Copies of this chain bind each other. A is one copy, B any other.
Amino acid sequence: MSITDLKFEIDRDSKTPLWLQIRNELFNCLYRDELRPGQLIPNEKTLVELFNVSIGTIRKAVGMLEKEGFLIRKQGLGTFVFQHDNSSFLFEYFHFALNGSDEKQSPKVEFISFDSKKATKSQAAELGLPVGSPVFQIYNKLGLNKKFYIVDKIIIPQEKFPGLTEEIFKGRANTIYNLYQNKFNIFITNCSEKLKAISADEKISKLLNIPTSAPILKINRVGQTYNNVTIELRTSFVHTSDIDYIHSQNSTFGESI
């Protein structure tokens, strides 16, 4: 079923603008996987006919989805559905740089372990599952400049990742989010991180080769997909003597006052 075969209902009397209705219809196509990652979406002229509005309205709708990160427009080529890959990972989801540097660089990743576990109370609550539901627990080490500074613990619900094995996980050619997207049809749309300073416990201090009770950063990341459904819980333990967690911003406000 191609998107061009679909019938879209646009309400010209609605108080929500046409461009927003169209944005929402297209968003639903992304959500329902009628437009798949990396795919070329219909060109503007086709969308004009599909929705029976003027091209400016289409451009505004597509522009919104581009701003939100779901679509990527390329002049002379077409508009594509966003796809997680190494460069987007570095640009968007990796927040560390070596001391004194403002330039991020790709970390090296080393697999540690892959286990089947039962969700703890808090994990189950965050994932919206019954306590004790099967989850995968994965440990990775991340490093920069020949040294490892980060231990990642990933918790994902097994029901959302049927058939995932250690081999598949280790054998991925791209980022973890790309794996979610391509093998399991799960597209991470947003992440929220909470940071604390804690003392390293024995396990972490061994993995990172630092003294026990050294101050480290603990980052709890919640990764969600469409409609704010939580998919992944990731806890990072970071030894920050040689690297910084960086967070830049300008005074941009989105839509608020």
Contacts and interface: CB of A to CB of B under 8 A. Distances in A.
Interface of A: 67-70, 72, 82, 84, 87-88, 91-92, 95, 102, 188-199, 215-217, 220, 238, 240-241, 244-253, 256-257
B244 A196 contact: yes
B92 A190 contact: no
A191 B248 contact: yes
Contacts of A245: 194-196
B194 A246 contact: yes
B197 A251 contact: no
Contacts of A217: 195-197, 217
A179 to B, nearest CB: 16
Contacts of A238: 197
A257 B87 contact: yes
B72 A249 contact: no
A250 to B, nearest CB: 4
A194 B215 CA distance: 16
A249 B194 CA distance: 12
Contact of A82 (B84, B189, B251): B251
9 contacts: A68-B250, A82-B251, A92-B251, A190-B248, A195-B217, A196-B217, A196-B245, A197-B197, A197-B216
A72 B197 contact: no
Contacts of A88: 251, 253, 257
Pick the most buried of A91, A193, A194, A248: most chain B CB atoms within 10 A of its CB: A194
